[in-house]
Amino acid sequence: MPVPDPADPAAFVHANTAIASPPLVPEIRLHLASEITPLWQATEASLARDQLPPPYWAFAWAGGQALARHVLDHPELVLGRAVLDFGAGSGLVAIAAAKAGARVTAAEIDRFAAAAIALNAALNGVAVAIESADVIGREPALWETVLAGDMCYERPLAERLTRWLRALAAQGVTVLLGDPGRAYLPATGLEPLARYAVPTSLELEDRLTREGVVWRMAP
């Protein structure tokens, strides 16, 4: 297993991933972890020394796959619009939106994820701007549509994000969430748009398939 090099995130992504397509979105190729446990352990081993976050960017999570599939199948949701993919991870949802004709910004504070997004966007031949600052609370909204795939896994983040997204929806921004039943998904104010059976790995989830639901946040 290659040793992570915090000074060169792009080299780290290349060294620790293989190019593959998520099962629900075969038309998109990404740099993904082919050996889940070794990558996670390699990152954890460096965490104390280099303050690296877990490599969430190296996996195509179920909520993101559902949202990306929905955007590709319904390009009218984003065509010609300024779109933000919040917590973009691998950039899967951002790339799907770009393929559907949107002007896309991927918000991601993890520099390794930012490197993965740049590599993945180039791999798929699309343009994605990358925002490395924390955009939660930013006003006025610069985007007409905000997409968030699988972001309700941790209470503090989910609560901060939900407050901001509700404020954006009240301003007329279209807010779409992709979620496979995470613990901190808002219990109210969401309209289901679509449901997808997403193949998953037991190394990442507790089952072989999760239901990925695409939700629209009510204004």
Residue 87 backbone class (left: φ over 0; alpha: ψ -120 to 50; beta: rest): left
Average pLDDT over residues 57-74: 97
The class (CATH top level) of 61-217 is alpha beta
Supply the pLDDT for residue 139: 79
Supply the pLDDT for residue 97: 98
What's the length of the chain? 219
pLDDT digits (tens, 9 = 90+) for 101-143: 999 999 999 999 999 999 999 999 999 999 999 999 987 678 9
Model confidence at 3, pLDDT cuts 50, 70, 90, reads very low
Structure-block tokens of residue 94: 């951002």
Supply the pLDDT for residue 55: 86
What is the DSSP secondary-structure string of 24-92? T-TT--EEE-SSHHHHHHHHHHHHHHH-PPP-GGGS--HHHHHHHHHHHH-GGGTTT-EEEEET-TTSH
pLDDT at 160 over 90: yes
pLDDT digits (tens, 9 = 90+) for 172-204: 999 999 999 999 999 999 999 999 999 998 877
Average pLDDT over residues 153-179: 96
Amino acid type, 62: A
Residues 6+ apart with CB under 8 A from 187: none
Q: Residue with structure tokens 């629900």?
A: 24
pTM over 0.85: yes
Domain boundaries of the chain, sorted by first residue: 9-57, 61-217
Supply the pLDDT for residue 58: 92
Beta carbons within 10 angstroms of residue 103's beta carbon: 16
Supply the pLDDT for residue 202: 81
**Contact in structure between 77 and 147 (CB atoms under 8 Å):** no
pLDDT digits (tens, 9 = 90+) for 45-63: 665 566 666 788 999 999 9
